[in-house]
Structure 1
């Protein structure tokens, strides 16, 4: 904004607005510059000013009380208009200033010397001046010192702006700059509606994974290439501004009547590749969201939030573009409140609980293990289905905290029942992000060791299987879990066309057949043939096969005939809380419990 202003009046005006807007850290440094100017030149008063079409604004001053004047009354306008230094040794001897209000009255300027503040293109943005209430001579050496100080001030301002308002990788204005521009629009007299469009076109997890393999420079090359492609592809007008608001996420600010819309941009960016370097390209997958607003009616941060809401709606629905919707936003706000409540529930350990569903050996009819399923008794909404909060947690880092909570409670149960006849292995559901997390396998192993438990007592059921397959780091994390002795389960087998491929690539022990695959085997010939073939294949590959969602005796009988190993479902038991599953297991394993009872035995 403070550079590349040549022949661009609009951008110059916006640059002046940037300088006029208060900034504590910037103005503190400017105050030191004016103090240095007074000390170096031996002149008591000094100040830095910015001039627009109507006023002079004093940004920093030393021994100078004026903060603002009209442009007409500003001595600095002579510097700006002439684009050259102005020296007035005695204002009372200069015909231009004899009757000047700032000379005849406060602050009674008798001596004035000012030099222009120019950017690197030579555009004058303000002045650096020294003043006194007494006349002075001013040598060529003093003028050179003042000019050099002005150059240092301008270099600082350009550096300050680049650090605060420019994305260092793409060179585009950043999120802070967007907020500032929205605030300026709100204060402007222009009532024309505007449109803010957010553009998300890089699969950042995949890009980061590639960067880990071939270097961070590749990711920076990708971001720079996208920042170059966007204006070439979209061809925004001079009045339309592009921003980088987050890594891999861009914004376009335009008027509501512009042909550039979220839908048009998504179509325009379809099929585009960006370069990672060394001839490696990444296909861009563009999602856009937009909001339309009237300047001054919606706060800047709220405008950006609405655009983000529209973008996230597009991402969640798998749509190329979405416009901001109040109804969807209300639902999103409700989801946000629910996530805040979940954070509190995890932090305070209040309301969350685990239900355990047994896995049954189809040969003996005895329970062999348990699956831990998280439940939430919300203080206001009552008992909530995991379908209401787990998918929301999956979109954030909150899923890792929830996984940690589930892990600790499951291990706590195993520890409590160590050496008990009703102790069975427990399986927990784990997402791709945690499996890919550095040190996750070692962390689980350490927890089991501290609890004096073998790792084989804790099973890992893979959620988000496709994401794991697509993420080499997650695949390595899965292999580490396997090497440390954790049993690995693949959930919902049979629901997707790519399942067969998983068997070759993932280090699996247990395959869980989805309910949809086995629910019709007692009544449909095709379902029986498919289920039998899949079970036979999996057994030939030496997997343990578990059928989910078993609800009637006929299905159980068929699964036994097909060679399925285990089953779980309401036919055997619904998921039960800790105390109830203890009682259920004590009943199912009563013969073993009797044989293990010794005098003084407490089961702990």
Structure 2
């Protein structure tokens, strides 16, 4: 009965593959029943004339699950399903001319199964009827040869792979499609486990679901990644189900699977057509809004800022009308490449329509940064663009909307940026425009300062002012801090509080810092040549300047102007101390080894820590003006100043108090043991000639109130 049962179950593959819903479930159930016949041999039992069981063989025990001790003595009706006709007992009434007939019977586990029933009268020695001999076999077994051959042909012609395993998960049968899909022949597969096809591309949860189906938890249908004999991975649609024998034990598992690579490829093509621009390959508006929505939700949770830029390319229509669509399309592709090259990896770039692009800046630290990016994009599109033999000039207008300020959803954000781009296109000069008027004004001011600051470097509009440092012991000038000033040709002196933050954000601070060091050394050399006895001059260093090349640059400047290292002091801020301590310490040690002194500026406002002060070779601490302004009346300021001075004395560091403006402040600091003061009480920052005059005249601080 084994081989016909295999053929029968495999013969159901085609109908299972082509049916859906309840019909599919019914066909799979029939397939399970056919597979069950692999472990269900024929059964026989004996009845007396009244229908009570008198004999029960092992086949009956396997088929129905009852041991002989429980079955013998019971009426055959105990095997009947609930909906069988109680008045017609098939086992007691053989039908002439019908060797077998299908009936439904119930197993010990309560399952109702289909069986083929054959009944013969059992006679005694006198030839009288003494009972009934009943033969049973589970339905599906023993198909006629012609049907078996038909099913075998259907199986081999099917394009769906079939894999059957036994209770030990060893492969006992496969079909031709299995070989075509996987590359494994039947001989190579038999005796192996389904792990033969395992790709390792799935997580533990999916593997657990498949394993659960193989262990009888119910049929599982889904998509998994298989591996062919040549190592190639392929997607497959799979149905896995376990088959139980009459005793409820899992006897076999069958898998029906199809290679769906072509379907996946088609799906990917459709997905790309739906979400990407066919010409440039960039995301289209639909995908942009989807990704932007996700980014805005994350920004709300993290309380971060982002921006959307709409870039509208100018003159594209005129170029297309003149040179043709082929050149116009090539120009758009090149524009997309230029824009992408000027964005960060995490920024979004999409094409909306025509010559309009959108850029999502998903994370910006300050809103003005969106204007910096927009300016780069405008500059890129203002320069001539080479397309084939043509050099084409386009230009662009940019509209900017910032979230969460300007909009709470991606559609509204896009509308805002689009409106801003349209307004920018109406302006006289090619420009960028923020959707918010307030933001627009701030961005314009930011860009104006950046542009004019670059001109200031080139046009010698920068200068150094010097604020004296005065000894609280002698009252004499013992040093100075060089402070950068910008004398604008139209606006006059520009406050450092206006242009220094812009320089920090744009990277101009490095150029400004290098200029300050050079100018300070040049001035020190000039004073020395003029026989002016000059105390050390302190210059501020930005964190951007503090790199491995700093000692070499400082040595070159000192050599150029023949300035002694002890004539220069370098002031750094606390934020520098927490940035890669090992690297910073190594650089500091090189500078100190050259003879340069280091001062810690604005102490107490940032990341102050005794641990840092112990590690770094710092000779001077400067008390920030924020802690000086309340002296001597503000209790907290007094306590902080006292603590800083005491700590510095223990560490043998010099103390300079900044922002001293009153005699009361000076007297309090002097009594604490502060070494120097710097502030308007003695002098505001002054140009180099005025500071030289102070030195020549020997200006001193007058002490009072002692």
TM-score of the superposition, structure 1-length normalised?
0.50
Larger radius of gyration: 2
Of structures 1 and 2, the one with the larger relative CO (CA 8 A, separation 6+) is: 1
